[in-house]
Amino acid sequence: MSATKRLQTIQSHLSTAPASGSGSGIAKPEIKVVAVYGAGLMGAGIAQVAAFAGYDGLAIIRKSSERIAKHMAPEGTDTAPIIDGIVKAIKTTTDRAEAVKDADLVIEAIIEDLAIKQDFFKYLDTVANGLLIKEINAKCPQERKKRFGGLHFFNPVPVMRLVEVIRTEDTLPEVDDALYAFGKSLKKKPIRAKDTPGFIVNRLLMPLNREAIRMVERGDATFQDVDTAMKLGAGHPMGPFELFDYVGLANKTDTNLLVGKGWVKRAEQGYIPKAYVEPQGTLIQDLVAQGKLGRKSGEGFYKYEQKGKKSLT
């Protein structure tokens, strides 16, 4: 069956697993309509797996359709028919109000910029009153917080099986259960974590990555050998420097700063070792200053040809 045909025959209903929450008297929300806001690597990947899981009315912006088509089309083939198939099977829009107005679940996958994210959620407050739990009074800010949780996917989303389901201090158990069931419906393995800096994976991975940077800065090893060591010695699918390039170096810098601030506070409170927040050099920042942002710019730690194949810088 062609990729276009598969999209056109997406199932229209989703059954979710029974709730395991503590029971606040509110039924676990049933997620049918999903809106993915953001068209980068993460947004397009989430949209793709949600579409194939059979969700109704998935609303994404047009650029995401193009990214999905590129992933699905054999190299060198015309993606226009696949984009047409996506448009027929999935509701697409560039109007953010239109994208979220009927959604049971809105997934934010926009740029790693705190101010932009805060602006988006302020906007979402004004237009998405029915999200997840309709019995809650959506006009009360404290009540809206109860319908908020995290879904942390991993790149590339269609390939990586893990999704971290994040609960805040305010997240209702029913919402947490709904997000967990949603992750399972995407054929992912969901795991639960509290809302702490880095959650689980990044909390373990970022100290490793920071030490990888320090090793190269000290001259202990080349970045190529560090990548080889972690792939062949530790079984990682990508080395840390390949991962930096894949995610984007500017994005990695911003994420490090955001998570790092949270870690500094945690270290001051004694929750994590102070070594986790030791300052590192400017290896990544220097590349960013030169316009070397990773794959998306054609060069980061590695150089990339048009087809994405890397060569050494």
Tens digit of pLDDT for each residue in 157-167?
Answer: 888 999 999 99
How many CB atoms neighbour CB 150 within 10 A?
18
Predicted TM-score of the model (pTM): 0.73
- Token representation of residue 159: 């390939």
Mean per-residue pLDDT, 38-50: 81
State whether the Cα torsion 45-51-56-58 is positive or negative: positive
Which two three-digit tokens encode residue 269? Answer: 């409170």
At 215 the pLDDT is 95
**Res 114 pLDDT > 70:** yes
What value does the mean pLDDT take over residues 266-279? 76
**More reliable by pLDDT, 128 or 228:** 228
Q: How far apart are the C-alpha atoms of 278 and 257, rounded to whole Å?
A: 12
Q: Is 72 helix (H, G, I), strand (E, B) or coil?
A: helix
Higher pLDDT, 140 or 213: 213
CB burial class (10 A; 0-12, 13-18, 19+) of residue 302? buried
Q: CA-CA distances (angstroms) from residue 42 to 164, 176, 260?
A: 14, 21, 22
Contacts 24+ apart (CB under 8 A), 247-252: 247/41, 247/155, 247/294, 248/293, 248/294, 248/295, 248/296, 249/284, 249/287, 249/288, 249/292, 249/293, 249/294, 249/300, 250/288, 250/293, 251/111, 251/112, 252/284
198: left (phi over 0), alpha (psi -120 to 50) or beta: left
More confident residue, 270 or 164: 164
- Confidence bin at 13 (pLDDT 50/70/90): very low
Strands 310-312 and 302-304: antiparallel
Average pLDDT, the chain: 76
Nearest Cα to Cα of residue 168 among 142, 194, 192, 144: 194
Per mean pLDDT, which of 39-43, 177-181, 227-231, 235-239 is the most reliable?
Answer: 227-231
Main-chain phi, psi angles of 257, to 5 degrees: -65, -45
Q: If we measure between CA atoms, which residue out of 294, 211, 184, 199 comes closest to residue 249?
A: 294
**How many angstroms separate the CA atoms of 211 and 26, rounded?**
46
Q: Residues 246, 103: contact at Cβ < 8 Å?
A: no
State the helix-helix crossing angle for 201-218 and 223-233, rounded to 10 degrees. 140
**251 or 179, which is more confident:** 179
Q: What is the CA radius of gyration of the chain?
A: 21
Q: Is 166 helix (H, G, I), strand (E, B) or coil?
A: strand
The residue ranking higher by pLDDT, 289 or 312, is 289
For the chain, list the domains and their CATH numbers: 29-194 (3.40.50.720), 200-297 (1.10.1040.10)
